[in-house]
Amino acid sequence: MHANKRRGEIAAELNGEPYKLRLTLGSLAELEAAYEVDDLAALVERFSGGRLAARDLIRLVGAGLRGAGYTITDDEVAAMDVPEGIAGFARLASALLEAAFGEDKAPAGEQLDEKA
């Protein structure tokens, strides 16, 4: 499945199937509400530290899937398999943030690099 980077899409394999993910204005608003922040700057600040909890990964990937048009709950996302396990989820979350906000605003995914 080909992702349109100009639209902020990324491609991913979840449960052995190809998916597109994208953080739309609606999915970003969903994340603002989930984290009880007032604006996008606060949301970016929340993720810029490079320290993401498992719940963060689930919320980000779920929001990206819903932003791309899939009807899926966070509980369903939590049960999905991703190549490379938790490190794969972390890379997906980082790629989503990078696609939405630009490379300099995404969390430091390098900490989870190939050593994970």
Per-residue confidence in pLDDT tens, the chain, 116 aa:
677 777 889 999 999 999 999 999 999 999 999 999 999 999 888 888 778 899 999 999 999 999 999 999 999 999 999 999 999 999 999 999 999 888 654 444 433 333 33
Asked whether residue 89 is domain-assigned, the answer is yes
Asked whether residue 69 is domain-assigned, the answer is yes
- Please count the structural domains in the chain: 1
Asked whether residue 81 is domain-assigned, the answer is yes
Asked whether residue 4 is domain-assigned, the answer is no
Asked whether residue 96 is domain-assigned, the answer is yes
DSSP E strand stretches across 1-116: 9-14, 17-22
Give the domain extent around 70.
Answer: 25-106
Other beta carbons within 10 Å of 95:
19
Burial zone of 39 (CB within 10 Å; 0-12 exposed, 13-18 middle, 19+ buried): exposed
Asked whether residue 38 is domain-assigned, the answer is yes
Asked whether residue 45 is domain-assigned, the answer is yes
- Are 21 and 64 in contact by the 8 Å Cβ rule? The answer is yes
DSSP for residue 16? T
Other beta carbons within 10 Å of 67:
23
pTM: 0.83
